Amino acid sequence: MPYEQYEDKIRPTGRKSTKEPRYSPYCDFVYYESTRTPGVMLAARIVKPSRPSYIVAGTHGWHMSIPKFENMMQPEPGNDYLRVEVDMRGRIFSDGAADCNGWELYDVIDAVEYARKAYADYIVDPDIVYFEAGSGGGGNAMAIVGKFPDYFAACTALCGISDYALWYEQDVTGEFRDELDVWIGGSPADMPTAYRSRSGLELVGNLLTPMYLAHGETDIRVPSVHSRRYANRAAEAGKSALVRYDELPGVGTRDHWGHATEAMMERVRRESERNRLDHRTPVRIPGEGTFKVGGYLFTKHFSVVLDSLDKVADLRYDLASGTFDVFCETECVYTLSFGGETQVRRATVVR
């Protein structure tokens, strides 16, 4: 697939008020309701393969929205997947307010669940779901595998943002700070924990999904230190076997792929695809262990939702005994769902 879509050169304006689904043989434009925010209608573009395959979900660049509907009479060249392109909340086609890796990441899960039902005939195995995105979407990729650690069988993060506080400071022209101030609610100096809770770097210890990262060495708008630090932090957490990182030497200007050769981009495409081909089984969480909770954590067995997206907590769990203990730096109430029951509990404060 073309990676120019992640350059984020266009800042669309004008929210679309009409929500009429559109259909064609190989591309649909659909709407679905958020399960986290009832009444909020969200959009996704569905690109269909020529024969049943696997789901690849993805999100757009920071300033962008998904592409418009295309009346596609033939399969998209080079596409072998059911692609679910998610327009996150608050963007051009979707209702709600953007929140930078807050509930907008759950919009991806809602879109995939919608596709599993509506496009079942196009899916080989609904339990195998992949994620691939770049730039702002690459930041989504690094965080979504930390907040949904057993949902994706493999993930690709291209030129992604791993630390939003660092990115805020690196934004010398202010082209991203204006949204960060609004979408998160303030600056890193004012809200350091809110920035941590949204950053994949904070959640890398949760990693169970095999990751492929690629970044241009001299990228200006999202510096390569973001992918480099993510890979290094994963190694420190004993997760190096799950992360492969390609840094493209001399690549990156104000375009993420500036100076890249076609051979370089072909390697990125090939390695991203290899990460999917090598991982055709669902991820499983251990029966007991620990997770970092950045606002919320959802697994196939349980979920923990803190009383604020802006908080970070540590979870210790044991599925066999049904034991869940949450430790937070501040006063915090959380909602635990496990075994068909939901409880509201108070976290242990650890300072």
How many Å apart are CA 132 and CA 155, to the nearest integer? 6
Average pLDDT of the segment spanning 184-213: 98
Q: 309, 103 in Cβ contact below 8 A?
A: yes
The pLDDT value recorded for residue 8 is 72
Instruction: Give the tens place of pLDDT for each residue, 104-137.
Output: 999 999 999 999 999 999 999 999 999 999 999 9
Residue 292 has pLDDT above 90, yes or no: yes
Residue 3 has pLDDT above 90, yes or no: no
CB atoms within 10 A of CB 79: 16
Instruction: Give the tens place of pLDDT for each residue, 223-243.
Output: 999 999 999 999 999 999 999
In the chain, % of residues over pLDDT 70:
96
Average pLDDT of the segment spanning 33-60: 97
Average pLDDT of the segment spanning 47-55: 97
Instruction: Give the tens place of pLDDT for each residue, 311-342.
Output: 999 999 999 999 999 999 999 999 999 999 99
Residue 11 has pLDDT above 90, yes or no: no
The pLDDT value recorded for residue 351 is 81
Residue 1 has pLDDT above 60, yes or no: no
Q: Band of the pLDDT at 18, cuts 50, 70, 90?
A: confident
Residue 9 has pLDDT above 90, yes or no: no
How many Å apart are CA 338 and CA 301, to the nearest integer? 7
Instruction: Give the tens place of pLDDT for each residue, 251-278.
Output: 999 999 999 999 999 999 999 999 999 9
The pLDDT value recorded for residue 185 is 97
Q: 253, 193 in Cβ contact below 8 A?
A: no
Q: Band of the pLDDT at 19, cuts 50, 70, 90?
A: confident
Q: Band of the pLDDT at 207, cuts 50, 70, 90?
A: very high
Q: Band of the pLDDT at 7, cuts 50, 70, 90?
A: confident
Residue 2 has pLDDT above 70, yes or no: no
Average pLDDT of the segment spanning 153-179: 96
